[in-house]
Amino acid sequence: MDRPDAGLAERFEAALLDADRSGAAALLGELPDASPAEALELVVVPALQRLGERWEAGDLALSQIYLAGLICEELSDRLLPGPGGGDDGPVLAGVAALEDQHVLGKRLVLGALRSSGVEVADLGQGLGPEALADRAMDRGVRVLLVSVLMLRSALRVKELVARLRARGSPMAVVVGGAPFRLDRELWREVGADAMGLHAAEAVRLVNAFSGEVHP
């Protein structure tokens, strides 16, 4: 189907920033010919991407990104109901907070991925490298997204990657969080495969590493 006009996209973003759940849902209804997956691809995911970029540029607060992510996740659940990685079976992607108990980054990434229909599991928080490697391998994760808050946790990604490779796992490891944003070479230093500057980049990175295409 044709791409929606720019006005619809702007109004959808404005609805997200106004925490207008019903307004955002109604705007998706202005795409009567779109399948649910197309609505996610053409409106929801690009909106999250643009909001993430605006946060990166200093225009928005993290709390606004969080709320927008919650709304989009709710819309996605309504459009594409069904298991998205909540059972114990194999999943494409897994998200975890390494070492830290701070889960906001993990929540944002989970929301962005679920909003785009990616099969993703919440692998938890406060886990050390060995426990996270075990959990990710048990779920058959192909792309592991790791969120951290503190530099110490970021540096432990090195051990996580080493454990995965020692077990012969080709799992891609994508990292994000404040230490990686502040030191743009840190992801290479710890042996990660990529870094996301904000949660919405998770969709692009999962697509890139999985070889599959999700909205």
Partner 1 sequence: MTAAARPQEAMTAAARLGTCLSHREADRVPFILPATMHPARLLGLPLSEYLVRPEAVVEGQLLFRERTGHDALVAFLHAAGEVEPFGGQVVLHDDGPPNAGPAPLRGPADVERLAVPDPLSSPSLCRTLDVARGLAAAAKGEVLVVSGAVAPFSLPVAQLGFAGWLDLLRTAPALARHLLEVNAAFVSRWIRLQHEAGVALVVLFDPLASPQMVPLETWMDVGLPALRAAMAGAVGAVGLSTASAPCLRTLPAFLGAGAAVVAASGAESLAVHKAMCRGRATVVGNLDGIAMRRWTPADVEREVRLALAAGGPGGGFVLFEHHGEIPYPVPMEVLEGIGEAVRRLGRYPLGGGG
Binding site for partner 1 (CB under 8 A): 19, 55, 58, 61-64, 66-67, 99-104, 107, 126, 150-153, 155, 179, 182-183, 186
Q: Which is nearer to partner 1, 7 or 58 (CB)?
A: 58
Q: Smallest distance, Å, CB 162 to partner 1?
A: 15
CB 164 within 8 A of CB 193: no
**Separation of alpha carbons 61 and 30, rounded Å:** 28
Give me the least distance between CB of 154 and partner 1, in Å please: 9
- The residue among 153 and 169 lying less far from partner 1, judged by its C-beta, is 153
Instruction: Give min distance, CB of 120 to partner 1, in A.
Output: 17
| Contacting residues for 123 by C-beta, under 8 A, at least 6 apart | 94, 95, 96, 132, 135, 136, 139, 141, 144
- Kindly tell me the sign of the dihedral angle through the C-alpha atoms of 122, 104, 56, 147: negative
Choice between 37 and 67, CB closer to partner 1: 67
Min. distance of Cβ 2 from partner 1 in angstroms?
35
Alpha-carbon span 24 to 20, nearest angstrom = 6
